[in-house]
Structure 1
Amino acid sequence: MIDQSGFPPSTIPDDDIGGKLYIFDGRKLSRNEASKAKPEVFELAKLAQRLDDTATPRRPHYITFNASHTHAIISFVATGHVLIIEAATRKPVFLVDVGKQAHAAVPSPDETYILVANQNGKLVQRINTDYAANTFTLDHSATLNLADGTTPSGALKQFGSADEDGVRPDNAPILALPDSTSNLAFVTLRGGGLFVIDPRATPMAIAGEYTTSTIEPAGLLAAQTGNKMYFNSGGGGGAELGFQSVLYALPVSAFSPSPNPYPKPDTPAPTVVFDHGQQDVDSHGLLATRQERYLWVADRAANKIIVVDTETDDVVNEIKLAGVVSRDPAPDILGISPSGDRVYATLRGPFPLTGNNPELNNALGQTPGLGVIEVKRGGKSGMLKLVAPVSNVDDTDDEERADPHGIAVRSR
């Protein structure tokens, strides 16, 4: 689990260097003693500086593992750093600065590349990977610019303003998720709309496009179950949009890597699984439960998990998380235990550093740490059982600055 807040604590966000990586032993978390669990703790700036002593990575945001779980990939959203760590040894083996913002870096299932969503750079970038040899290369020739130029349909990639329908006003990528074959990737966009891309092409190529007439801002995360790619839009679109929580699904088989036939823009139409509109909601983390029977959608504003039946795309339950264990957990990103009987959630802190609208406080929580949710009825329901707290108190004002966000579970 990653704490985004800097080390040492600071009241000036731009001075926050590094953040921390917490590694918990899942066996201890299963013994109803999460609050006593003693994680390994690493200062991420120090790990990065083993590779480059001038590096000052800020705000670690997202963490994933490659398919073999040999390496962890960490992206820093306040800088453009991507850090790769050898999981067994905790040894840093690669560091690169891709530019403005590395919001999320996600490895392909076939372990040949990593896609970096360079948020304010409005780029998707590719790191070619050889995990066995610890060889990683940022392939500049593969970069896909999402802001300039046109799509294969002839439309401008980015155009219009946020108050217009049927446009793509802000093509800042939030996530570029490869599909299960590694031949396609789905790119969510902060301003709404979506791109489907060919991640193997050089440069990477657009294979499908959507505008805000079909997919609302602000694009967030994605998860695949079978032939369905689920993705959501949530809070973060600004005070004028208020809270938001929309879940969509698209058939992966509807798209092909270029230069195969290019679908008409905004087709096929996505299934709207749910749309909670302007309620006090903020859809964020997505997770398929064991055997992909259910999809869990974390709502950090409403303190709940929305449960979707992946066979019917019906909402079948809502798991309320606020209560005795935490009065305001603000669940963010989710990870599942290898056995499928527990789901881990990052719980946000009282000073959220990312994704929070200060007029709404959609990402603000009161118990920063790792939430342990017991999975029931095969994933149809669950209960927040424990919280393993983390802390990063600012010694200038005694305020709690810890703000967990990224999480990934390693099987070993």
Structure 2
Amino acid sequence: MKGDPTRRAFLTGSGAVGVATVAGCLGEATSEQGADDHDDRTDEDGEERGETYEIWALDQGTDTVYVYEPSGDGEFDAVETIDVNALEGVPEDGVVPHMIDFSSDYEYAAIACTAGARTLVFRTEDYELVGNIETGAGSHMAAFSPEDDCIHVDVIGEEKIVRVNADLEAEDFTVRDEIHLPENEVVTEAGIESAAPICHQYAQDGRSLHTLGPSYHDAGLVIVDHDEFTVDAAFSPEEVPTNCGTMPHPTEEKFYLTAGLPSNPEEDEEGVGDFFVFDTEADEVVHTADTGGVDAHGFWYTPDGEELWVLNRETNDGIVLDPETDEVIDEIEAFGPTQSDDPAESDAPDILWSSPDGEYMFATLRGPEPISGDPHAATGVTPGFSVLDVDSREIVTVVEPDPIEGYSAEEIEDEDTPTPDFHGIGVRPVGDYDTDIPTSPPF
């Protein structure tokens, strides 16, 4: 079994941090469909198809980015396939695409790579790689700032937060500054020994909240002043034991965090599935509750802002919160079609994102040979992404870009044979959707 955090060592290519800055095209996506087809959004009669959206699904098992769009009646068509290791400037040892975020206008996508020590930036109109930035070993999450003038990257392997200047007009990206958390006075005074940043988002006041981990036992929270790029506050695992997702409230000064820990039968250790509501004005936790399952992880809003969905990886289930009251208003029985009391025989959902029309919620599904996360929780059955109907909470379909049935048992067990394992996902609106809240944070 491949272990946490990635099948390739974090330190691959992790020498002195440099940067490859690009103006224009670094490499071309490899696909049967090219950019010309992407721009020609017409039906068979040549009529404009109007509003649509793209789903960018990251297969960190085979280092592939798949792009799909809806074709109607719960079906989805492949638009593009990007073999990231075939792109110019990518290290010979390759990279592992882990999480994705878009600029506020959705014209650029930033993909943090847990192997390869870098963050990749794509122009979404034609899928061209325009930024190849060495951000450090174990670059886990990269997200655009509210002004789109920089990208903050959580770098697990080097326990730092990296700030990348982003000049989108010139398509120029340069590492500007770094915060080494174990050396930061605010962090050490909080009693935090292990300070590897995992995920972050921006609160209403512009500060970014970064969870720590990757294990629940290494949890904690660090708050960064966005303007000064300094640590404003830090909280130990005893104070705020959060190690997973980050999500600001769309309008209020509060912030949602998750904490997850797989169960460990051998050590007779129960798993954890919790969420926290953090008041960013008072800088304190104001509400804590469980997520109804084990290993709480990703979550996302419906575009009307009335529901916040939360998933549990190990138990393949979740809850729906009311962001106004923070109460649980519904339960999700399953995000993946295969459910079992044995986590190794059950689907393992990971990251959520909603469609801009509010019809669907998308959830990535891990593979039988997980690249990241505790294998006991992250081991899945059906790698790809599931499509859930928001109203009924039921699975409409499961998209499998690279069906696991095409791999033999020997190939799945062979660590040298890449097999699909989906983690990050992002949804890019194409056209103007009328939504009550922006389709993705920061709000």
TM class by shorter chain equals 0.7 to 0.9
1:72 corresponds to = 109
Mind listing any 5+ residue stretches in structure 1 that lack a counterpart? 7-18, 159-166, 255-267
2:351 corresponds to = 333
Instruction: Give the distance between the partners of 1:205 and 1:61, measured in 2 at CA.
Output: 26
Deviation at 1:108, TM superposition (A): 1.0
Gap change, CA 1:396 and 1:288, over 3 Å in 2: closer
Contact 1:109/1:180, CA 8 A, preserved across alignment = no
Gap change, CA 1:312 and 1:134, over 3 Å in 2: same
2:4 corresponds to = none
Instruction: Give the distance between the partners of 1:74 and 1:339, measured in 2 at CA.
Output: 24
Contact 1:107/1:178, CA 8 A, preserved across alignment = no
2:275 to 236, 242, 247: 247
Contact 2:293/2:317, CA 8 A, preserved across alignment = no
Instruction: Give the distance between the partners of 1:89 and 1:195, measured in 2 at CA.
Output: 36
TM norm structure 2: 0.74
2:60 corresponds to = 4
1:408 to 393, 403, 426: 426
Deviation at 1:156, TM superposition (A): 1.8
Instruction: Give the distance between the partners of 2:280 and 2:91, measured in 1 at CA.
Output: 42
Are 2:213 and 1:206 aligned?
Answer: no
Deviation at 1:298, TM superposition (A): 1.2
Gap change, CA 1:177 and 1:157, over 3 Å in 2: farther
Three-state SS of the structure 2 residue aligned to 1:168 is: coil
2:159 to 122, 125, 137: 122
Gap change, CA 1:322 and 1:171, over 3 Å in 2: closer
Deviation at 1:55, TM superposition (A): 5.0
1:390 corresponds to = 401
Are 2:310 and 1:297 aligned?
Answer: yes
Contact 2:133/2:173, CA 8 A, preserved across alignment = no
1:187 to 210, 214, 229: 210
Mapping 1:3-402, distance limit 5 Å: 3-6=59-62, 19-25=63-69, 27-28=70-71, 30-34=72-76, 37-47=77-87, 50=88, 52=89, 54-139=91-176, 142-151=177-186, 156=188, 167-180=191-204, 183-190=206-213, 191-201=218-228, 204-216=229-241, 219-225=243-249, 226-227=251-252, 228-235=254-261, 242-254=270-282, 268-275=283-290, 281-321=294-334, 325-327=337-339, 328-356=346-374, 358=375, 361-376=376-391, 382-391=393-402, 397-399=410-412, 401-402=419-420
Contact 1:148/1:157, CA 8 A, preserved across alignment = no
Mind listing any 5+ residue stretches in structure 2 that lack a counterpart? 1-56, 340-345, 413-417, 431-443
Gap change, CA 1:103 and 1:237, over 3 Å in 2: farther
1:262 corresponds to = none
Instruction: Give the distance between the partners of 1:322 and 1:407, measured in 2 at CA.
Output: 14
2:47 corresponds to = none
Gap change, CA 1:385 and 1:53, over 3 Å in 2: closer
Pick 1 or 2: higher relative contact order, CA cutoff 8 A, min separation 6. Answer: 2
For 2:334, the aligned partner's letter is L
Instruction: Give the distance between the partners of 2:424 and 2:94, measured in 1 at CA.
Output: 15
Instruction: Give the distance between the partners of 1:187 and 1:101, measured in 2 at CA.
Output: 15
Gap change, CA 1:80 and 1:236, over 3 Å in 2: farther
Deviation at 1:39, TM superposition (A): 4.3
Contact 1:349/1:402, CA 8 A, preserved across alignment = yes
For 2:207, the aligned partner's letter is L
Instruction: Give the distance between the partners of 2:335 and 2:257, measured in 1 at CA.
Output: 25
Percent of residue pairs bearing the same amino acid type: 27
For these two proteins, the number of residue pairs brought into alignment is 353
Deviation at 1:189, TM superposition (A): 0.5
Deviation at 1:53, TM superposition (A): 5.7
